[in-house]
Amino acid sequence: MASEPKQPSGGAEQGPLLDPRIPFEKETPAEFAVGTLKTIALVLAVGITLVFSLIYGWTIYESYFKLPEEVEVPVITGKTVEEANEMLAKLGLRLQVHESRYTGKPEKEIISQNPAAKRKVREGNEILVVVSLGPELMEVPDLVGKSLREVEIELANNALKLGKVTWSKPDPEKPEEVLKQEPAPGKKVKKGTPVDVKMQKGGGPEAMTPVPNLKGKPIYTVSTALSKADLQMGGITWKFHQVAARGEVIEQGPPPGSKVSARTPVEFEVSAGPPEGRAYRSRQLAIDVPTGADAQRVSVLLNNGVGTDTVFDGRQASGDTMKLLVSGLPGSEVEVYINDKLTKREKL
């Protein structure tokens, strides 16, 4: 009779023991394949997640934390804007036009840069440049029929200068005036270009105009006398005077009896009356000249209650800002005309 299996000593109960007589249950091939696929899928998922995490992290680093490489700024002064753009693009830099101005350099040439050449900057930085607009062009005024003094004034008002002066044979019946000029009227030339003129030479006193004596006359009456003598009104200077009445001509230049060319301007000193309790006032005017293809005519008149005198009358380059100091008696009015149109009226 078979004996019963013995219980372990100590009286403690044990779990069921594996009975070696019971055969071990093995996995089927299908179950093994499924388990293997699950393991591979899990490894792939973990691997893909890790790869994407690395890529994302590198992108964040590149975008926000990695500093751009430093490059050396090349020399771009003297280059055209197109040439400089190509040079900077190859280094990862950008061109920014900071200012454009008229110069003696060719148009679109870079005349200065910031940062300077050979400085180290990060990729992606802007290089600020000043670009030449080329030489400023002025329109040559029509000088035919004007006296040499008028020519000098007209050219100065247009930022040009007098060039070579040649003279024709004297003619006692003709006034001294411009017959021809070069460059021709209306031509665009560089600022400061000399203009050559051919003058008619008067033959003697018959071709000259005597200056009338206007001393002691009221200033507002002299324009009629000047017009009859084929002369022009020049500048007026007001001075305090103990004897001469306010508005009376004290001095004139050229002096009375002088022989001058036709249309020569005559300048005057005019009495402002006694100085007691009175003072001149001065104001600096800023006159913005409109932009346009041609120079603009600007006239500044001073109305002092006695008469009106011309402070400035000439052509000014388009787009300029004129600064003009005007002096006169308190209460005088300053009028600014541009192309014969009143644009400003102010009291001193």
Residue 42 located in a structural domain: no
Closest to 157 measured CA to CA, from 179, 171, 140, 145: 140
- pLDDT tens-digit map of 159-178: 898 888 888 877 766 777 89
Identify the domain containing residue 169 by its residue range: 137-204
Residue 32 located in a structural domain: no
Mark whether 173 and 237 lie in a shared domain.
no
Mark whether 123 and 149 lie in a shared domain.
no
What does the pLDDT average to over 252-268? 83
Contacts of 100 (CB under 8 A, 6+ apart): 130, 131, 132, 133
Q: Give the CATH number, domain containing residue 178.
A: 3.30.10.20
Number of neighbours of residue 128 by Cβ within 10 angstroms = 13
- How many CA atoms are closer than 13 Å to the CA of 140, on its beta-carbon side? 22
Residue 322 located in a structural domain: yes
Mark whether 148 and 174 lie in a shared domain.
yes
What does the pLDDT average to over 138-163? 87
What pLDDT was estimated at residue 99?
Answer: 87
Residue 41 located in a structural domain: no
> What does pLDDT average to over the chain?
79
What does the pLDDT average to over 109-118? 90
What total number of domains does the chain contain?
4
The whole-angstrom distance between residue 124's C-alpha and the CA centroid of its chain comes to: 28
> Where a domain ends, among 204, 231, 259?
204
Mark whether 283 and 272 lie in a shared domain.
no
Comparison of pLDDT for 98 and 67, the residue scoring more = 98
The segment with the largest mean pLDDT, out of 79-93, 94-108, 232-246, is 79-93
> Where a domain ends, among 239, 254, 276?
276
- pLDDT tens-digit map of 103-112: 888 888 999 9
Q: Give the CATH number, domain containing residue 290.
A: 2.60.40.2560
Residue 100 located in a structural domain: yes
Residue 51 located in a structural domain: no
pTM for the predicted model, two decimal places: 0.37
Alpha-carbon torsion 17, 19, 22, 23, what sign? positive
Mark whether 200 and 212 lie in a shared domain.
no
Mark whether 291 and 337 lie in a shared domain.
yes
Residue 224 located in a structural domain: yes
Residue 56 located in a structural domain: no
User: Which of the residue ranges 126-135, 143-152, 256-265, 299-308 would you say has the lowest mean pLDDT?
Assistant: 299-308
Cα dist from 105 to 97, 109, 115, 235, whole Å: 16, 7, 21, 38
> Where a domain ends, among 132, 152, 180?
132
Residue 73 has pLDDT above 60, yes or no: yes
Mark whether 283 and 345 lie in a shared domain.
yes
Pull the structure tokens for residue 80: 């055209």
Mark whether 237 and 200 lie in a shared domain.
no
